[in-house]
Amino acid sequence: MKNGKSKWILAGICLLVLLTSIIVYIFRDDILFKAGCYMAPVGDYHADVAILEGTEFISTGLITSGVDLLSSGKVKRLVVVLQNIAPTDRPYGINGNYKDLVRQKLENHGLKETEFKVITVPVRNPITLNEAKVVLHGLARENVKSAILLSTGFHTRRSYLVYQHVGIPLQIKIFPYAYFPTYDLSNWRVKSSGIREFEVEVTKLFYYIIRGYIPFKLSYSETPAE
C-alpha cells in the first residue's frame, strides 16, 4: 500500500516538474525580460546628487549619462566614485593621478567646481558595502537627502540595495539608474556579455543577501517613487 502511494506521489512530482518546465520554456522571454528589469532598474527621478559608480576607472558613457542628468536639471551635482588603486596597477600609458585626470576632464567638459566631486574609496571586502558607507556618510555630512545611483547593467540591483540599506539610517533616499554599455534590456539575452554579467551579478546578489550585507526584506522591495 505504501509503495503504491509513494509511486503516485513520485508521479505527481514528476508531472509538476514537467508542467513547470513547459511553462517556463513557453514564457522564457517574458520571464527573462522581467528578471533583467529587476536586476537593472531604470527610472525617471530628480535628486540632490547623482552618484556615478566607477571601479578603478569610470567609463565615458557613464560620465555622459551623469552629465545629461545634470544638464537636464534632474540633479544639482555629480559625485564620481573611484576605487583607490596603486599607481603600478593602472593601465600602461595613463600618467598622473587618475582622480585628478577625471577632475580635469570634467572641467574641460564645461562643468564648474561646484557641480561635481570626485572621490576615491578604499578597496576592502565587501567592496560595494564599504564603498556605500564611505560615500553616503560623506554626503550625509553635506546634508544630501537624495541621490540617483548610476551603475553599470545588472550590477545596479546589488549596488542599489546596498546603498539603500546604508542610506536608510542616514535619511538619504536612493534611486537606481542602470547604464547599459554593450546591451540593453531588449537584447541582453542574445549578447554574450549580457548573459555573462547577468549570471555573475545574480550570484553576487545572492551572496550579499546570504552574508547579511543586504537585509532580505529589502531584496523584494519595489523600486521607489519620488
Reported as a single tens digit per residue, the pLDDT across 184-222 is 888 888 888 888 999 999 999 999 999 999 998 887 666
Q: What is the mean pLDDT of the chain?
A: 86
Nearest to 79 by CA among 48, 117, 113: 117
Give residue 219's pLDDT: 72
Instruction: Report yes or no: 82 and 56 within 8 Å, Cβ to Cβ.
Output: yes
- Per-residue pLDDT for 91 more than 90? no
Give residue 20's pLDDT: 56
Chain segment 26-35, per-residue pLDDT in tens: 656 777 888 8
The whole-number average pLDDT for the span 168-173 is 96
User: 20-54 burial string, b = 16+ CB within 10 Å, else e?
Assistant: eeeeeeeeeeeebeeebebbbbbeebebbbbbbbb
Q: Tally Cβ neighbours within 10 Å of residue 178.
A: 25
Count Cα atoms within 13 angstroms, Cβ side, for 131. Answer: 27
Query: Phi and psi of 152, rounded to 5°?
Result: -95, 125
Give residue 221's pLDDT: 65
Nearest to 39 by CA among 190, 167, 195: 195
Chain segment 100-156, per-residue pLDDT in tens: 889 999 998 889 999 999 999 988 899 999 999 999 999 999 999 999 999 999 999
Q: What is the pTM of this model?
A: 0.84
| Percent of the chain with pLDDT strictly greater than 70 | 83
Coil, helix or strand at residue 87? helix
Count Cα atoms within 13 angstroms, Cβ side, for 220. Answer: 2
pLDDT band at 176 (very low <50, low <70, confident <90, very high): very high
